[in-house]
Structure 1
Amino acid sequence: MRIVIIEDEHYTAGYLKEMILQVAPDAEVIKMLSGVTEAKAYFNVSIIPDLIFCDIHLADGSGFDIFSQSKITTPVIFVTAYDQYALQAFKANGIDYILKPFNGQSILEAINKFRVMYASRTKDLHYYGSIIESIKPPVVREPSSLLIKFGEKIKPVKIKDIAFIRTENKWVHLVTFQNEMFVYNKTLEEMEKTCGESFYRVNRQVLLNREAIGEVLQTYSRKLLVQLKVNNTPTLEINKTKMSHFLTWLSA
């Protein structure tokens, strides 16, 4: 718990610090300020504390001026010899109001009040955080393998090992880089969604893995010919309407 003390009487400031550390061993008084001007300058550039103890009557003005002319939202415990400022104190971030001469008991009660309020605020943050977590959409992980059925057997085939997918006589065939071919019971449209952006729909019959492309040639008729790394496979043709889109995908 980081605390700043604003008090222009040197003896009172030292005694207040002593009382705070005595009743709250976990507290740390990070700064002791002596007036309005010094406090304003400090809060403009320094770390905002968890709690502020502030005298109302300071040598260069009222402690209320520090908070009325700034955006400080830190809770404040006001310390004063006069009791007529209580209402004004609670309008200026005040959570408690201690009359001089103060003692350890009055300081402890004020700090305990701050702890209760701070604990409540932290609890609310955790509560709202749990709500946000609960309404987040679930993470959908793309499959890394496809399960191919052979009668009573099942063989996993990694998607990254598939060079291309093609339809032939209403059947979908998966062709791997090792030139293995498997029949799969999904449509090419479904495979396009499953395989993701590393595959490109060349035409109505072929879905191509980027890693399977060996070389791309441009013809005089403004078409692209795609030669694959897989042996004994046909050259694929990209027509001119798809050429720009295909090259953009290829360079991604």
Structure 2
Amino acid sequence: MRVVIIEDEQYTAEYLQELLLKAAPETEVTRLLFSVAAAVDYFKTNLPPDLIFCDIQLTDGPSFEIFRQVKLEVPVVFITAYEQYALQAFKANGIDYILKPFKNDDIAGAINKYNQLHSAVVKKVLNYGHYLGLPSVATGAGQKSSSSILVKYRDSIKPIKISDVAFFQTENKIVQLTTLNHQKYLLNKTLEDVEMLCGDGFYRVNRQVLLNRDAIEEVLQGYARKLVIKLKIKEAPELLVNKTKISDFLSWLSA
């Protein structure tokens, strides 16, 4: 679970981060933000987290201004010393309202509420997908490769056909897929997990990228006896194949 903390007191922000990691050790706090302006700038240029913990009164104004300036469909846990903002909080994607001074049980309870809401959404979407006849996704070793993979999209889960994925890329332990239509989604899986799902149509170019054969436009001879892979999609990363993998890569490409 990826979390952003918005709190203008650094000590409080760091204490909250400590309690979060204690309550849910798998949590990754991706950013501490200390003002409305900093939060607006961050959310305009970065992928949204799974959950936001947010103080209401910041040094440059109420945090509700963040959600007026940036469209975010992310659940928010509001933390404040004031009781009178509860109604506004729940109108701004609020799922919990914690009064300061907070303690470990408060944070653990908020995480538990988020997990319950998230599980309910996933269950609802998966059941709906079952009735629609959507393909299922393999979940472990020894199972057949899947035709679709489930991704988080706003407050729901949606299936993406693996054949529509141009490549998967991991950075800072976060895996993102990019489709042939230039859409991007985050995955709650490792690249190794994804590789097990994709089958022979995908190739692990390096530690960061798993590539779909159908996304390749051409392969060029590069410097130092490396190959350069040009993709069909715009703004794609430049992919290099080291000389030690060239034979294996070309064998896969021609299969």
Task: Give the shorter-chain TM-score range.
Answer: 0.5 to 0.7
What amino acid does structure 1 have at the position aligned with 2:15?
A: Y
2:65 aligned with 1:65:
yes
Match of 1:131 in 2: 131
Deviations 1:170-190 (A, max 9, x none): xxxxxxxxxxxxxxxxxxxxx
Three-state SS of the structure 2 residue aligned to 1:114 is: helix
1:83 aligns with 2:83: yes
Determine helix, strand or coil for the equivalent of 2:133.
helix
Match of 1:103 in 2: 103
* Separation of aligned partners in 1, 2:68 and 2:21: 28
Q: Distance in 1 between matches of 2:66 and 2:55?
A: 11
Instruction: Quote how far apart the aligned CAs of 1:68 are.
Output: 2.2
Q: Deviations over 1:134-160 (max 9, x none)?
A: 79xxxxxxxxxxxxxxxxxxxxxxxxx
Matching of residue 50 in structure 1 with residue 50 in structure 2: yes
Q: For residue 70 of structure 2, give the secondary structure of its aligned residue in structure 1.
A: coil
Secondary structure at 1:88 match in 2: helix
* C-alpha deviation, 1:48, in angstroms: 0.7
Query: In percent, how many aligned pairs have the same letter?
Result: 54
Cα displacement string for residues 49-96 of structure 1 (whole angstroms, at most 9, x for unaligned residues): 000000000011111111122210100000001111111100000000
Structure-2 residue corresponding to 1:7:
7
Letter in 1 for 2:11: Y
Q: Deviations over 1:232-251 (max 9, x none)?
A: xxxxxxxxxxxxxxxxxxxx
Which AA in structure 1 matches 2:50?
A: D
How many Å apart are 1:14 and its aligned residue?
Answer: 0.5
Structure 1 Cα separation of the partners of residues 44 and 134 of structure 2: 38
Matched, 1:30 2:30: yes
The equivalent of 2:21 in structure 1 is 21
| Matched residue type, 2:132 | I
Number of equivalences = 135
Cα RMSD after superposing both structures: 1.3
Distance 1:34 1:117 in 2: 27
| Unmatched runs of 5 consecutive residues or more in structure 2 | 136-255
Q: Secondary structure at the match of 2:79?
A: strand
Cα distance in 2 between the residues matched to 1:74 and 1:125? 17
Superposed counterparts of 1:1-252, under 5 Å: 1-133=1-133
- Flag as ranges the 4+ runs of structure 1 deviating above 4 A: none
**Alpha-carbon distance in 1 for matches of 2:105, 2:39:** 27
Alignment partners' CA distance in 2, 1:98 and 1:9 = 16
Cα offsets for 1:184-233 (capped at 9, x unmatched): xxxxxxxxxxxxxxxxxxxxxxxxxxxxxxxxxxxxxxxxxxxxxxxxxx
Please give the alpha-carbon distance, in whole angstroms, between the structure 1 residues aligned to 2:128 and 2:111.
26
The one-letter code of the counterpart of 1:78 is F
Give the Cα separation in 1 of the matches to 2:22 and 2:134.
43
Q: 1:129 to 1:34 in 2, by over 3 A?
A: same
Aligned equivalent of 1:206: none
Using structure 1 for the length normalisation, give the TM-score. 0.52
Q: Specify the SS of the correspondent of 2:123.
A: helix
Write out per-residue CA displacement over residues 88-116 of structure 1, whole angstroms, 9 at most, x where no aligned residue: 10000000000000000000011100100
